[in-house]
Chain A
Amino acid sequence: MKGLLMQCRMEIIKILRNPYYVFWSLLMPIVFYVIFTRIFNNAFDNDQEWQAHYLMSMTTFSVMGSAIMTLGIRLVEERTQGWSLFMRITPISTSAYFFAKMVGQTVIHILSIIVIFTAGGFINRVTLSPLEWLLSGLWILLASAPFLALGVLFGTMKRVDTVSGVSNLVYLLLALSGGMWMPLEIMPTIVQKIAQWLPSYNFGNGAWQIVRGNGPDVSNVLVLIGYLIIFMVLSSYIRRKQEAAV
């Protein structure tokens, strides 16, 4: 138990010291937020709503990024450097180790949400009701599960170069086509149609609905759960195949 708590703490410290996390998950979303709400903000009539909407876009963008990239790359690094093997001769179990990673990642997501929400509050005086802040934060935290599963899936790749290339590309494509960078309405119809089925759009849309006083659509929840199951099944299938190969 002591080991598990310590492991959770160390996982959090590790992520915080990772420059990619600080850059991609904290700095970039805030910079984008300033650019698209303070500098190019003429296109939209309803400023207040746009500012809250885009704050949600950037928070989901951030959390999605650390879930896919930090976790996936880290897992591959640990395996290629023999670290995962080494952990297996210590008394801490593989599942406890994995659990600690998930807890660490979740705490980091909470931190990202608080930092970016606070930044939004200061930069644009985004005003939501306390319930809306709470619900949107909770949504972002819980609905990030499929992306953690995607990170774990990417974590089964053999080489660090491959995983960082693939996860970067998938991350940016998902963010762009899911309407996180710019509203889906200004995108071509074909992208809009595809987006309905992407995890990123469904992730973002839940939060966008909450700040408009609605709740996430049922379809958002269903699509995300679907992806969660697919990613989990795929990664456990691949893991089993890799273990059998030894």
Chain B
Amino acid sequence: MEEVVSIEKATKKFKDKTAVDELSCSIQRGEVVAILGPNGAGKSTTILMMLGLLEPTEGKVEIFRMDPKEKAVREKIGAMLQEVSVIDTLTVKEIIQLFRSYYATPMDFEELVALTGLKKEEMKKRADKLSGGQKRRLGFALALAGDPDLLFFDEPTVGMDITARKRFWDTVKALKEKGKTIIFTTHYLQEADDVAERILLFHKGEVVADGTPHAIKNRLTKQSVSFIENSEVPLDEIRSLAIVSDVYVKNNRVIVVTEQTDDVLAYLFEKRLGVKGIEIEKGRLDEAFEQLTKNKEAI
């Protein structure tokens, strides 16, 4: 494993407000990491520190074991940032070629165009005349221009329609296949769930949860087995089982809350209770998200 990002007790204060508070984490080569958290949790500040655009007040942020401001680092990173708009009177093609010229080993032009889905007729358009979606695609192309090993996407899909969004994430998956390390923030939890292998959940400038989407959901949300209500089923008996934390009836369905859904199912079949319409409910990421950020003291 090669450590690509290492953050050690980084703190960032703006005047008297602490945006990031003694944050530590490390990201390995090839990981796809989603940074989640409510507004003001310190996501963007952390990304800006990783990019070397903000200096931590205390602590250390390193990329490829170097200061993020090193030229050698900038040769190998790419980013799509919020609030960066291309205002140039240059055409899309000119800007892409310009950006490619900045890097020692740029991505092949044709490959870049194919990856970002920019169309032929868009290449001749001036950047300041592009639509919102086209601008995002151009931003994506600029992030990839240097064929970077490490990519940052800060809220990349804001303003994209569903097709564009799907296309974007498909490309991200393809980039992952090539061994790129990808760090992104998003407000769409589903995206983090679908794409990321690892989620860093930020709250008040700290990492409050770090793990696979699955692990985070399991740890934080309740799972349940439910079936259609049936008078022959002994609810009290089920309730008394050690693996069951609660049993209740809702909309004519019996809901058995448990952490071991498999064992509950085994029990139901073993006793031949003749239950019908069985469903297993897994926690959703947004529930976990809500729980973590609302009552942090519970963790």
Contacts and interface: CB of A to CB of B under 8 A. Distances in A.
Contacts of A10: 90, 94, 98
Interface centre among B53, B85, B88 (most CB of A within 10 A): B88
A2 interface: yes
A82 B85 contact: yes
A83 B87 CA distance: 8
A130 interface: no
A77 B75 CA distance: 26
B241 to A, nearest CB: 56
Nearest to A18: B89
A14 B101 CA distance: 17
A89 B74 CA distance: 6
Contacts of B77: 89
B84 A85 contact: yes
Given A2-B101, A10-B98, A86-B81, A77 B87 contact: yes
Contacts of B52: 88-89
Interface residues of B, number: 28
B127 to A, nearest CB: 10
Contacts of B79: 86, 89
B51 interface: yes
B88 to A, nearest CB: 6
Contact of B74 (A17, A18, A81, A90): A90
B250 interface: no
A160 B71 CA distance: 31
Interface of A: 2-3, 5-7, 10, 13-14, 17-18, 77-78, 81-83, 85-86, 88-93, 246
9 contacts: A7-B101, A14-B88, A14-B89, A77-B87, A81-B87, A82-B84, A83-B86, A86-B84, A91-B102
Given A3-B103, A90-B74, 17 more contacts: A2-B101, A5-B101, A10-B94, A13-B94, A17-B90, A17-B126, A81-B83, A82-B81, A82-B83, A85-B53, A86-B84, A88-B52, A89-B51, A89-B79, A90-B102, A90-B146, A91-B102
